[in-house]
C-alpha cells in the first residue's frame, strides 16, 4: 500500500508557535485518519504521511495548535490538500481554511449581507486583503508575515460572525417568550462538597447533572459507595431541581476502578460487569431522576475495543434497563470529542454523529443527545478553540432529529500549560467568564426544524446548557463555578446574569446586532 506525503514550511520563529504532539490529519468528509506527523526544526518543516486509501491518493488537512498573540493558542486546521512533493506554506493554508469556513457559515446561516454582521465582514475583508498581498509578496518573510496577519483577522472575523448569529437568533427565539427554567444548569462530581451558603446566583441554575463515575461508586468489586450521590440527590430534591443522572456507561480509563482496568477485556465479561453496576444505580434512584444519561463516549475506543455493533448493543442495554425500571424514563446519550481529535489514534472508533445516527437507525430509544465541550484543558481534543469552531460543532450534532443538551461546557480559571492553549489571552477568572457567557449565548442561539412542523415554526436546537463543573476538587483543573474553598467565581456571576436577562422577552432586534450576546473580548451589554 502506498504512502501519501505532505510537507508544510514554516519560518524559524513559527517552529515555536506550533505544537504537533496532538496534531492529526483529516480526510474528505471530515474523517480523521491515522498519520505520522513530525516537526523538523532543522529544515523548518512539518512532515506528514498517511496511507493511501485503496491505493488512491488521499487529500487531507492538517489540524494542530498554533500560537498567535492576537487570537491566542488555538487548535486550527488547514484546507483539504492533495499530496505533493512541493511543500505547502502552513500559515497560508491555515488562513485559507479560516476564510473558507467563514464563507461556508455565511451560506449556512444566510448571513451574506455585510449589513447583518458589519464588524465580522470588516475583519474578513481585512483578512482577504492581507491574504491576497501574501500570495503576491516579493519574498518569503513578507509572505509569511502577511499570512499570519490574515489568519488572525480571519479567526477574529469568524468569532464576530458566530456572536452576531447567536445574537440574531436569540432575539428571534425569545422575542415574545422567555427561556425555560432548565435552560441553564451545572454538572457535578459526587465527590464535590455541597454549597455551604445560599447564593442568589445559584437560583438561576435550574437543572443538575450528577455524574456516576464507576471508580467513585464502586471502588472495589461488590462494594458500592453512594454517599456522595445520595447527598446531591437530596440537595436537588430539597431545592426542587430536576436531575440528570449518569452516565451509566463511561469507559474512559480515568473513571474506571483498577479492578475493571486490570480485569477481563472480553466483551461478554465486560458487559456483565457493566450490567451489575447499572442495576445498582438504576434500582436505587429510579424515582429521583428526570433524565438518564445511559452512555457517554462509547464511540471512542480509548480503552475497550468495541466494535460498531457492540457500541450500539451496550447503549441499547442501558436504555432498556432504565425504561424497565421507570416506564416513562427519558433517555439521553452523551457524545464526546465533537472535533474527533482522538478518533484517529483509537482503533475502530466512530465519529459521534455517525454513532448517533446508527443508534437511531437501529431503533435504540433515545429522547435527546448530550454534547460535552471542553476548552483550555491539556487533553487531546480539549485544547482551546475559537468560537466559530465551537458553533460549527454544535451545528453538526444539531442536525440529529432529537433535542440537544450541552451536558458540559468547560474552560479553566487559570492556564494549564502550552498543551491546553489559550483564548485571546491567558486563561483567568475574567477570561473564563467571558468565554462561558459567549458559549451559553451561542448554544441557545440555534434554531432548527424537526419533524413535520411548519417551515416558520422553528424550535431551539439546544434545550439546556450545563456548566461542566460545580466546584473544584483538590488536584483537578480549576473549572468550577466555585473554587475549592466554596467561593463563587466570576463565571457563576456572569452566567447567572445572562440567564436572568432571559427571564423576560428580548423583543425583536431593531438593529442588525443588538449586542445581547457578549462580544468576544467584552462583557454582556
The residue that leads in pLDDT, 437 or 525, is 437
Of 86, 106, 138, the one marking the end of a domain is 86
Q: Is the pLDDT of residue 525 over 70?
A: no
**Domain that residue 46 falls in:** 1-86
Mean pLDDT across 254-277: 89
397 and 469 in a common domain: yes
* Number of domains composing the chain: 3
Write out pLDDT tens, residues 105-136.
999 999 988 888 999 999 999 999 999 999 99
Inside any domain, residue 97: yes
75 plus 96 within the same structural domain = no
How many Å apart are CA 146 and CA 154, to the nearest integer?
12
Asked whether residue 62 is assigned to any structural domain, the reply reads: yes
Q: Does 189 share its domain with 300?
A: yes
Do 321 and 211 share a structural domain?
Answer: yes
Q: Indicate whether 243 belongs to any domain.
A: yes
CATH number of residue 28's parent domain: 2.60.40
Residue 523, in any domain of the structure? no
- Tell me which residue has cell 455585510: 114
- Say if residue 474 is in the same domain as residue 440: yes
Q: Domain boundary at 62, 86, 110, which?
A: 86
In this prediction, residue 124 carries a pLDDT of 97
User: Would you say residue 190 lies in a domain?
Assistant: yes
Same-domain check for residues 160 and 203: no
What is the secondary structure of 56-116 as a DSSP string? B---BEEEEEEEETTTEEEEEE---B---SSPEEHHHHHHHHHHHHHHHHHHHHT---TTT
Residue 406 and residue 215: Cα distance in Å, rounded? 24
Q: 20-53: per-residue pLDDT in tens?
A: 999 999 988 888 888 999 999 999 999 999 987 6
Co-location of 216 and 346 in the same domain: yes
Per-residue confidence band for 197, with pLDDT thresholds at 50, 70 and 90: confident
If asked whether residues 193 and 105 sit together in one domain, one would say no
194 with 224, same domain: the answer is yes
Note the pLDDT tens digit of each residue in 467-523. Answer: 999 999 998 999 999 999 999 999 999 999 999 999 999 987 655 544 445 444 444
Mean pLDDT, rounded, for 363-375: 97
Q: How many CB atoms lie under 10 A from the CB of residue 59?
A: 16
Shared domain check, 171 and 184: no
Separation between Cα atoms, residue 370 and residue 408, nearest integer Å = 8
In a domain, 511, yes or no: no
Question: Do 143 and 189 share a structural domain?
Answer: no
Is residue 159 pLDDT above 90, yes or no? yes
Decide if 364 is inside a domain: yes
46 and 123 inside one domain: no
CA–CA dist 496, 183 (Å, integer) = 11
Is residue 112 included in any domain, yes or no? Answer: yes
pLDDT on residue 57: 66
pLDDT at 363 over 80: yes
Q: For 393-442, what is each residue's pLDDT tens digit?
A: 999 999 998 999 999 999 999 999 999 999 999 999 999 999 999 999 99
First to last CA, the chain: 57
Amino acid at each position: 500500500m502506498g504512502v501519501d506525503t505532505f510537507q508544510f514550511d514554516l519560518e524559524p520563529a513559527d517552529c515555536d508557535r506550533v505544537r504537533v504532539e496532538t496534531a492529526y490529519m483529516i480526510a474528505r468528509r471530515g474523517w480523521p485518519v491515522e498519520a505520522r506527523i513530525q516537526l523538523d526544526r532543522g529544515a523548518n518543516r512539518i512532515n506528514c504521511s498517511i496511507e493511501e486509501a485503496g491505493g488512491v491518493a488521499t487529500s487531507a488537512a492538517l489540524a494542530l495548535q498554533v500560537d498567535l498573540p492576537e487570537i491566542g493558542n488555538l487548535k486550527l486546521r488547514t484546507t483539504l490538500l492533495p499530496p505533493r512533493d512541493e511543500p505547502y506554506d502552513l500559515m497560508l493554508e491555515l488562513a485559507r481554511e479560516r476564510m473558507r469556513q467563514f464563507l461556508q457559515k455565511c451560506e449556512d446561516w444566510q448571513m451574506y449581507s455585510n449589513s447583518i454582521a458589519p464588524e465580522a465582514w470588516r475583519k474578513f475583508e481585512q483578512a482577504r486583503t492581507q491574504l491576497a498581498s501574501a500570495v503576491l509578496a516579493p519574498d518569503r518573510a513578507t509572505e509569511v508575515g502577511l499570512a499570519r496577519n490574515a489568519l488572525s483577522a480571519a479567526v477574529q472575523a469568524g468569532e464576530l460572525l458566530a456572536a452576531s448569529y447567536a445574537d440574531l437568533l436569540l432575539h428571534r427565539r425569545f422575542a415574545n417568550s422567555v427561556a425555560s427554567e432548565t435552560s441553564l444548569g451545572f454538572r457535578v462530581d459526587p465527590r464535590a462538597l455541597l454549597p455551604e451558603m445560599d447564593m442568589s446566583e445559584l437560583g438561576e441554575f435550574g437543572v443538575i447533572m450528577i455524574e456516576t463515575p464507576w471508580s467513585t461508586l464502586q471502588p472495589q468489586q461488590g462494594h458500592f459507595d453512594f454517599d456522595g450521590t445520595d447527598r446531591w440527590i437530596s440537595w436537588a430534591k430539597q431545592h426542587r431541581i430536576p436531575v440528570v443522572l449518569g452516565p451509566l456507561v463511561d469507559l474512559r480509563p480515568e473513571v474506571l476502578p483498577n479492578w475493571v482496568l486490570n480485569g477481563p477485556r472480553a466483551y461478554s465479561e465486560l458487559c456483565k460487569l457493566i450490567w451489575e453496576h447499572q442495576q445498582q444505580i438504576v434500582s436505587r434512584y429510579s424515582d429521583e431522576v428526570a433524565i438518564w444519561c445511559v452512555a457517554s463516549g462509547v464511540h471512542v475506543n480509548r480503552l475497550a475495543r468495541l466494535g460498531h455493533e457492540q457500541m450500539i448493543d451496550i447503549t441499547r442495554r442501558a436504555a432498556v434497563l432504565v425504561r424497565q425500571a421507570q416506564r416513562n424514563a427519558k433517555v439521553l446519550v452523551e457524545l464526546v470529542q465533537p472535533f474527533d481529535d482522538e478518533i484517529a489514534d483509537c482503533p475502530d472508533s466512530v465519529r459521534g454523529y455517525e454513532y448517533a445516527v446508527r443508534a437511531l437507525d437501529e431503533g435504540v430509544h433515545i429522547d435527546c443527545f448530550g454534547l460535552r465541550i471542553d476548552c483550555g484543558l491539556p487533553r487531546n481534543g480539549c485544547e482551546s478553540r475559537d468560537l466559530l469552531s465551537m458553533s460549527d460543532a454544535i451545528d453538526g450534532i444539531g442536525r440529529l432529529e432529537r433535542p440537544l443538551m450541552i451536558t458540559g461546557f468547560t474552560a479553566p480559571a487559570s492556564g494549564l500549560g502550552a498543551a491546553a492553549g489559550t483564548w485571546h489571552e491567558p486563561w483567568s477568572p475574567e477570561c473564563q467568564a467571558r468565554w462561558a457567557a459567549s458559549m451559553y449565548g451561542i448554544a441557545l442561539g440555534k434554531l432548527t426544524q424537526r419533524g413535520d412542523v411548519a417551515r416558520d415554526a422553528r424550535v431551539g436546537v439546544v434545550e439546556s446548557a450545563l456548566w461542566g463543573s460545580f466546584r473544584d476538587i483538590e488536584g483537578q483543573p480549576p473549572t468550577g463555578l466555585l473554587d475549592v474553598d466554596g467561593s463563587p467565581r466570576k463565571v457563576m456571576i456572569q452566567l447567572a446574569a445572562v440567564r436572568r436577562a432571559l427571564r423576560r422577552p428580548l423583543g425583536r432586534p431593531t438593529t442588525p446586532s443588538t449586542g445581547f450576546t457578549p462580544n468576544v473580548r467584552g462583557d454582556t451589554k
